[in-house]
Structure 1
Amino acid sequence: MLEVQQLSHSFPSGTESTQVLSGIDFRVERGEMVALLGSSGSGKSTLLNLMAGLMKPTEGSILIAGRSIDKMSENELAVFRRTHIGFIFQAYELIPHLTVRENVELPLVFQGLRSKVRREKAIELLTRVGLAGKTEMFPSQLSGGQQQRVSIARSLITEPAVVFADEPTGNLDTKTEAEIIDLLIELNENSGITFVIVTHEHEVAKRTKRIIQLRDGYLVEGGAAEALADVTAAEAEPLTEVRP
């Protein structure tokens, strides 16, 4: 469903270039919940931007729902993202002057759906994420965890092929972090939603079904989330880098 094939990327640096990703190759099946784990500087943010079609790779290809997004024009990508990709952000990225319901409805406005249909879908999703009584409130009236639930509902409103969650618990306390991950797991298991969760936290990554780990721009071997279940970042044994 999501395929990253021999992906490499570099940024211009004066007369030379800086390599940030090298030979990344993996596949995420429909209905999986996968963690993209890496520390600062590992290349995970660059990889996320490439998978979301926000940048073009130097080499390799990215397929989502069988389509090569690296070959699309900017206009094609914009349309594709609206219908096939959902985003959950660390800082929620809600529009403060819109109500909770209006924030969730917004992606459907660009699809031209009637207001009644938008409202019904938004309220249904907000109920699903535990915010049934808060649909007409404004983001500033909600806690951080509640705002992230709004962001999750918004990411699902277009029924995307994949949802990318960029450090979705980064602004939350430990208790709220666990609640948000519980919600993502429930949505994955009961609705078959495909999630790719970008994180630097081992505690978050080990709750997913599979871990894709980056180090210094390379994929490292390993995969099952259980492999990290009893290990902290400080105690983890070095993993083998997969280099060309």
Structure 2
Amino acid sequence: MLVVQKLSHSFLNGTESTQVLAGIDFRVERGEIVALLGSSGSGKSTLLNLMAGLMKPTEGSILIAGRPIEKMSENELAVFRRTHIGFIFQSYELIPHLTVRENVELPLVFQGEKAKIRRERANALLTRVGLAGKTELFPSQLSGGQQQRVSIARSLITEPAVVFADEPTGNLDTKTEAEIIDLLIELNVNHGITFVIVTHEHEVARRTKRIIQLRDGRLVESDAESDEDALLHGEVGT
């Protein structure tokens, strides 16, 4: 479903090239929930931008739903992202003058969907994420955890092939962090939604089914269960 093959990327600074990713190979199957774990400088943000089609790789390919996104034009990528990729951001990225429901509906507005269908789908998703009674409030009237639930609902409105969650609990306290990860796991288990959670937090990574670890631009893939002790002792990603 998501296939990364022989992926490398370098940044050019004048005449000097700096490699940040080298020979990345992995796949995420439909219905998986996977953590992409790495410390600052590991290359995980660059990898996320490449997988989301926001940058072109120096070498290699990225297939989402069977399509090589590195070969798409900017216009093709924009359309593809709107229909096949969902995003959950650390800072929520909600529009303050739109209601909760209108924020969730927004991706369907860009697709030209009818207002009645937009409203029905948004309300259904908001119920699913536990915000049924808050659809007409504004983001400023919600807690941080509630705002992230709105962001999660918005990421699902187009029924994407994969949802990338970029440090989704980075702005939350420990209790709310656990609640948000519980919600992502519930959506994965009960609704088959594919998640790639990008994080530097060992506790978040340990909750997923599989860990894909980046270190110094290179990839080490392992199962979350087998790495549990290492994560508890802070040995992964150091």
- TM-score, normalised to structure 2, is 0.97
1:229 is displaced (CA, Å) by 2.1
1:236 maps to which residue? 235
When the two structures are aligned, how many residues end up with a matched partner? 238
Distance 2:115 2:12 in 1: 46
Distance 1:56 1:120 in 2: 36
Q: Do the aligned partners of residues 235 and 144 (structure 1) sit closer, same or farther apart at CA in structure 2, a change above 3 Å counting?
A: closer
Q: Do the aligned partners of residues 54 and 36 (structure 1) sit closer, same or farther apart at CA in structure 2, a change above 3 Å counting?
A: same
1:238 is displaced (CA, Å) by 8.4
Runs of 4+ with deviation above 6 angstroms: none
2:179 maps to which residue? 179
1:235 is displaced (CA, Å) by 4.2
Distance 1:162 1:232 in 2: 26
Distance 2:112 2:19 in 1: 41
1:74-85 pair list within 5 angstroms: 74-85=74-85
Unaligned runs of 5+ residues in structure 2 are none
2:99 maps to which residue? 99
User: How big is each residue's C-alpha offset from its partner over 1:50-82, in whole Å with a ceiling of 9 and x where there is no partner?
Assistant: 000000000000000000000000000000000
Equivalent pair of 1:35/1:199 in contact (CA under 8 Å): yes
Distance 2:38 2:237 in 1: 13
2:40 maps to which residue? 40
Distance 1:31 1:106 in 2: 25
Equivalent pair of 1:84/1:158 in contact (CA under 8 Å): yes
1:1-244 pair list within 5 angstroms: 1-220=1-220, 222-232=221-231, 235-236=234-235
Distance 2:87 2:76 in 1: 18
Say which SS state the counterpart of residue 23 (structure 1) adopts. Answer: strand
Distance 1:128 1:187 in 2: 9
What RMSD over aligned residues (CA atoms) do the two structures have, in Å? 1.3
Equivalent pair of 1:202/1:228 in contact (CA under 8 Å): no
User: How big is each residue's C-alpha offset from its partner over 1:70-104, in whole Å with a ceiling of 9 and x where there is no partner?
Assistant: 00000000000000000000000000000000000
User: How big is each residue's C-alpha offset from its partner over 1:18-70, in whole Å with a ceiling of 9 and x where there is no partner?
Assistant: 10000000000000000000000000000000000000000000000000000
Distance 1:164 1:235 in 2: 24
1:233 is displaced (CA, Å) by 6.7
- TM-score, normalised to structure 1, is 0.95
Distance 2:18 2:228 in 1: 34
Equivalent pair of 2:129/2:153 in contact (CA under 8 Å): yes
Equivalent pair of 2:104/2:151 in contact (CA under 8 Å): yes
1:242 maps to which residue? none
Distance 2:83 2:24 in 1: 26
Distance 1:27 1:121 in 2: 30
Equivalent pair of 1:4/1:62 in contact (CA under 8 Å): yes
Amino acid at match of 2:164: F
Q: Tell me whether 13-22 or 159-168 shows the greater mean CA deviation.
A: 13-22
Equivalent pair of 2:202/2:234 in contact (CA under 8 Å): no
1:198 is displaced (CA, Å) by 0.0
Distance 1:150 1:205 in 2: 22
Say which SS state the counterpart of residue 80 (structure 2) adopts. Answer: helix
